[in-house]
């Protein structure tokens, strides 16, 4: 009998992230990543950055498809996936972005084709701006890299003080519900896929970053991430000369088509591929279409 592990047979690697706050149980934590390539000298690197509440498992089809010709790296943001989950870490966009930049530098990643989704968009694109000389191309799935123009009611409900955190952390009301709320083409999430997506988030302690991601959505200018997202949006045009493809699930109730339109204005060079029957979990519903878009970009000269 197969399990989700059969779909994710990759070697785990870890990178230490220094500089946790002094009140943390440990002054350091590790982020988990996979780094796969059977090619002797790959000329390009695919770097995959997930959002909330997924992890590197979400990109398993990309790793499997491209590892024979390209170096493929997929990271678990701190608090997510198989990364450490310190309880009192300062989980915020600025720190997640810094952690990704640290990974890019420590692994000396070059000629990167960046693949991002959900919160991975803001994290990954922020890192791409900071390390523009290392990032050549972009594949962007349903995401936003600006202050949210709206807050879906389902997300807003998870931000209700105390009750929202209790629901996310003790009832698993975010990761579990996403396995059926985030798809449209798939009428039902396959059992092994659902098990894989949920595996790292078994206990309330495991779900700390899921909760903090939700809390990090800025709803007013006084929120610290409001300014980070504002600066990110203002800086996105610096990436406008890089080959890019926006692959969008048009049935996504979270990152609706207006987010696609806004990103298209900021990155006018980007090709747009609309998937009319796909929801938020684009990689789960349309792995072939995303993979084909990545292959086209790999073949594009810069």
Backbone angles phi, psi at 151, to 5 degrees: -120, 110
DSSP track, 267-292: STT-EEEEETT--S-HHHH-HHHHHH
CB 104 within 8 Å of CB 125: no
CA diameter of the chain: 52
Q: Read off the CATH number of the domain in which 102 is found.
A: 3.40.50.1820
Separation of alpha carbons 201 and 192, rounded Å? 15
Percent of the chain with pLDDT over 70: 97
Query: Count of domains in the chain?
Result: 1
How do beta strands 29-36 and 71-75 pair? antiparallel
Write the pLDDT tens digit of every residue in 163-204.
999 999 999 999 999 999 999 999 999 999 999 999 999 999
Q: What is the rounded average pLDDT for all residues in the chain?
A: 95
CB 232 within 8 Å of CB 129: yes
Separation of alpha carbons 288 and 295, rounded Å? 10
CB 50 within 8 Å of CB 27: no
CB 117 within 8 Å of CB 58: yes
Write the pLDDT tens digit of every residue in 274-289.
999 999 999 999 999 9
Separation of alpha carbons 247 and 274, rounded Å? 6
Separation of alpha carbons 51 and 100, rounded Å? 13
Q: What's the DSSP call for residue 42?
A: -
Handedness of CA 247, 251, 256, 258 (dihedral sign): positive
Q: What is the model's pTM?
A: 0.96
Least confident of 37-46, 91-100, 192-201, 243-252: 37-46
Structural domain including 96 reads 4-298
Separation of alpha carbons 136 and 113, rounded Å? 6
Please count the other Cβ atoms lying within 10 Å of the Cβ belonging to residue 242.
19
Helix (H) or strand (E) holding 93: helix 93-106
**Secondary structure (3-state) at 113:** strand
3-state secondary structure 235-263: HHHHHCCCCEEEEEECCCCCCCHHHHHHH
Backbone angles phi, psi at 212, to 5 degrees: -70, -35
Write the pLDDT tens digit of every residue in 19-48.
665 444 556 899 999 999 987 778 999 999
CB 156 within 8 Å of CB 183: no
Backbone angles phi, psi at 64, to 5 degrees: -65, -40
Separation of alpha carbons 262 and 241, rounded Å? 17
Write the pLDDT tens digit of every residue in 54-85.
999 999 999 999 999 999 999 999 999 999 99
Least confident of 22-31, 98-107, 250-259, 260-269: 22-31
């Amino acid at each position: 009998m197969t399990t989700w592990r059969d779909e994710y047979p990759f070697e785990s690697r870890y990178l230490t992230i220094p500089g946790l706050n002094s009140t943390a149980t440990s002054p350091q934590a590790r982020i988990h990543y996979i780094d796969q390539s059977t090619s002797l000298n790959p000329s390009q690197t695919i770097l995959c950055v997930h959002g909330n509440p997924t992890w590197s498992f979400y990109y398993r089809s990309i790793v499997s498809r491209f590892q024979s010709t390209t170096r493929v790296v997929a990271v678990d943001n701190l608090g997510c996936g198989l990364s450490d989950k310190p309880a009192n870490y300062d989980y915020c966009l600025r720190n997640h972005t810094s952690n990704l930049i640290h990974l890019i530098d420590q692994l000396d990643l070059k000629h990167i084709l960046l693949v991002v989704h959900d919160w991975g968009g803001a994290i990954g694109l922020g890192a791409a701006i900071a390390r523009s000389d290392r990032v050549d191309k972009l594949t962007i799935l349903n995401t936003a890299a600006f202050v949210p123009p709206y807050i879906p009611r389902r997300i807003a409900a998870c931000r209700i003080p105390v009750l929202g955190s209790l629901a996310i952390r003790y009832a698993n009301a975010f990761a579990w519900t996403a396995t059926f709320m985030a798809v449209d083409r798939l009428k039902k999430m396959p059992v092994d896929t659902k098990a894989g997506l949920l595996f790292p988030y078994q206990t309330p302690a495991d779900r700390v970053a899921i909760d903090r991601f939700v809390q990090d959505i800025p709803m007013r200018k006084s929120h610290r991430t409001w300014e980070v997202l504002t600066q990110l949006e203002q800086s996105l045009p610096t990436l406008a000369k890089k080959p890019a493809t926006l692959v969008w699930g048009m049935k996504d109730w979270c990152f609706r088509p207006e987010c696609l339109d806004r990103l298209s204005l900021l990155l006018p060079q980007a090709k747009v591929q609309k998937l009319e029957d796909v929801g938020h979990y684009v990689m789960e519903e349309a792995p072939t279409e995303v993979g084909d878009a990545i292959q086209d970009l790999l073949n594009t000269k810069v």
